[in-house]
Chains A and B, each alone.
Chain A
Amino acid sequence: MIPPPPPAAHVPRTVRPPGPLVIDIEDVTKLYRMGAEIVHALRGVALKVHRNEYMAIMGPSGSGKSTLMNMLGCLDTPTSGHYHFNGKDVSSMSDDELASIRNREIGFVFQTFNLLPRSTSLHNVELPLIYAGLPPAARRARAREALENVGLGDRMLHKPNELSGGQRQRVAVARALVNHPSILLADEPTGNLDSKTGEEIMQLFDQLYEQGNTIIVVTHEEDIARHARRAIRLHDGLIESDRMTGN
């Protein structure tokens, strides 16, 4: 499914024109209270992301990348500030509404894959569709399609411990995309992979971008960030720079 990586210099760089606004955060802060001490993970971040963007979030360890990403993925809520997702104010949503956004609108890929260890690839990919209430036949078909799309058509009945790291991450990507979300969020998706496998995953992302997905990737590697069209840099809980990338 995935073609062998062509030399980097020849990668065609399409830039799709930006679509409607998906993510709009304003003045977002996040505090963690550690006993008497207060950690300012985010100190007032504003960010707009449109459909069809391919963005990297960079920055040193502890700069707040994961905190920001979890917030964008509606897994966590800001201490203060506003977050509009597809025009809806997320900060005022109930737990169930947030669950519904996570289920339908957001695909999240984790550094540690976060697959259910005792379930097959197919079942793992089906899971979001189960929670979406799809009938069995339809969701099985869609899960198959999603797995085939990441090149795992022949690994449907394998469990995570029967797969390589790269394959596990592909399953996670298939799971993130199976419900056709508005945006794909990936927090260091290559962090637990060797550089060759990591490169393969990034090529998969490139391909997904070409197919029309909107993607945000957290990374602290320049090589990875180069795949994106836009890169923001966090430092100490603030956005330090926001620029288009190009070779």
Chain B
Amino acid sequence: MPLIEILRIALSSIGVNKLRSALTMLGITIGVFSVIGVMTTVTALRSSIETGLSFLGTNMFQFGKYPVMGGGSNRREIEMRRDITLEQATRFKQLMEGTADVVCLKVFDGGGQAVYNGRKTTPDVTLAGTNEYFINANQFSIELGRNLQPEDIELGRPVIVIGQDIIKKLFPSENPLGKTIKMKGRTYVVVGTFADKGSSFGQSQDNIAMIPITRFFGDFGAARRTVNIATEAPSHLLYNETMDKGLTAMRIVRGLKPEDDNDFEVYSNESLLGAFAKVADYITAGSFVISGIALLAAGVGIMNIMLVSVTERTKEIGIRKSIGARKHSILTQFLIEAVTISLAGGVLGIVLGVIVGDVVAMLMKASAVFPWDWAVLGLLVCSGIGIGFGFYPAWKAASLDPIEALRYE
């Protein structure tokens, strides 16, 4: 008997129980949706990162007290580390003179509120205490006015460079340059503005302001503050050499003995990529567990619905057998029915997953992708579930005794 006929029979019997089939499908949809959604986002982010979205500027590496993205197993040990003080950081910068001139020191405080002339921002501005290299290290550029200058840092001048989000709130129709604003309760003169940067990983990058790091420590204290140090190698060729020198300088500054381990973290674009990959792996693994459970439950649902369907249609099976349906025709009919329900659920899950995954990716400034490999894998898994969980009911149907089945009421 040709497959197309069996397919037609299977589809028409699904049509008879639309609601029931749809509800069974839903389980598969949820399972497939969760893994495809996550994989779409991860794939989109990965490909955006690989094609240029870098965390640090090119040829840069950074030292800090804490590892990125909360990683690291020995949290206690990390908590026990001494903070990197402004003195240590400044000393480091001096030691690196001649090797690497672009050394950015930076500390951040969140939750700042900027006030000017009765207008205020919401209290969620990120305030950076840093130096003239912040724009290199964090890939900003200056739109109006000027960048921080070495003298601003040396003298601890109360000057500030503000981002576009703040300008929109405080200076909707004024030139901000030269104006005196309050930030976290302190007074600063606006000397420059950052160019628009958009958002990254779902967060606006323009809700930011920077002041000289010396001023920052003066105004807000040094307690519980640790400086991050970003260093740019003069060229790609000198990257490894600069990194080595940087490590040596950092160990000197931290007063480490030769046998001591580094009591700071080193990040490079590679290590950040690695850390991202690790987080992505955790999320991926999590979504696999979730969809595994959902798909297992959905598979049991399919088996259940197919068993009910076989029982309800015992008479029909008897009729078909009495006029010459072979065992494998009946088996295939019910298997196709199970696979169709499963695949339909899977296709819906893939479509929803790709849409939602790409929306999330685009919110994070990554461009949309269609993860073909995952979609194909999803369809294969769904077919597998349909066959795996549909087999027992289908086999039961195919093995019915014709006369017993005909007698069934």
List the interface of chain A (C-beta within 8 A of B): 70, 73, 75-76, 95-96, 99-100, 102-104, 108, 110, 114-116, 118, 127-128, 130-133, 175, 179
Contact = CB atoms under 8 A, between A and B. Distances in A.
Given A70-B403, A75-B402, A116-B319, A99 B324 contact: yes
B80 interface: no
B324 A102 contact: yes
B322 A102 contact: yes
Given A75-B403, A130-B1, A114 B324 contact: no
A103 B403 contact: no
A32 B325 CA distance: 26
B16 interface: yes
Of A73, A95, A175, chain B has the most CB atoms within 10 Å of the CB of A95
Nearest to A130: B5
A131 B328 CA distance: 11
A115 B323 CA distance: 11
Contacts of A114: 315, 318-319, 322, 406
Contact of A96 (B318, B327, B402, B403): B327
Given A75-B402, A75-B406, A99 B319 contact: no
B221 interface: no
Contact of B322 (A75, A95, A100, A104): A75
Contact of A108 (B1, B16, B320, B322): B322
A75 B401 CA distance: 8
Closest 10 A-B residue pairs measured CB to CB?
A: A103-B324, A128-B323, A99-B326, A102-B324, A131-B324, A76-B403, A75-B403, A75-B402, A114-B319, A96-B326
Nearest to B406: A114
Contacts of B106: none
Contacts of A132: 324
A151 to B, nearest CB: 21
Given A70-B403, A130-B1, A100 B324 contact: yes
Interface in B17-46: none
Contacts of B316: 116
B326 A127 contact: no
Contacts of A75: 322, 402-403, 406
Nearest to A105: B324
Interface residues of B, number: 22
B267 to A, nearest CB: 67
Contacts of B319: 114-116
Interface in B364-409: 402-403, 406
A117 B323 CA distance: 15
A99 B327 contact: yes
A116 B322 CA distance: 12
Of listed B321, B326, B327, residue having the most chain A CB within 10 A: B326
Contacts of A115: 319
B402 A128 contact: no
Most chain B C-beta atoms within 10 Å of own C-beta, residue among A76, A118, A128, A131:
A131
A141 to B, nearest CB: 17
Given A108-B323, A116-B316, A131 B1 contact: yes
B320 A127 contact: yes
A131 B16 contact: no
Interface string B324-342: 1111110000000000000
Contacts of A96: 326-328
A73 B323 CA distance: 10
B255 interface: no
B323 A127 contact: yes
B325 A131 contact: yes
B218 interface: no
Question: Which of the listed residues A75, A96, A100 has the most CB atoms from chain B within 10 Å of its own CB?
Answer: A75
18 contacts: A75-B403, A75-B406, A95-B326, A96-B328, A99-B321, A99-B326, A99-B327, A100-B326, A102-B322, A102-B324, A108-B323, A114-B406, A116-B316, A118-B16, A127-B323, A130-B1, A131-B323, A132-B324
A115 B328 CA distance: 21
A132 B5 CA distance: 12
B373 to A, nearest CB: 38
Nearest to A106: B324
Given A96-B327, A128-B323, A133 B403 contact: no
A71 to B, nearest CB: 9
A222 to B, nearest CB: 27
B2 interface: yes
B112 to A, nearest CB: 70
Contacts of A110: 322, 406
Interface string B219-249: 0000000000000000000000000000000
Nearest to A139: B5
B334 to A, nearest CB: 15
A128 B2 CA distance: 13
Interface string B284-325: 000000000000000000000000000000011011111111
Nearest to B401: A76
A118 B315 CA distance: 13
B342 to A, nearest CB: 23
Q: Which of B315, B316, B322, B406 has the most C-beta atoms of chain A within 10 angstroms of its own C-beta?
A: B322
Nearest to B329: A131
A131 B406 contact: no
Contacts of B326: 95-96, 99-100, 131
A76 B16 CA distance: 31
A33 to B, nearest CB: 14
Contacts of A104: 324
A175 B323 CA distance: 9
Given A96-B328, A99-B321, A131-B326, 7 more contacts: A75-B406, A103-B325, A110-B322, A114-B319, A130-B5, A131-B1, A131-B324
Nearest to A95: B327
Interface in B252-302: none
Contacts of A128: 323-324
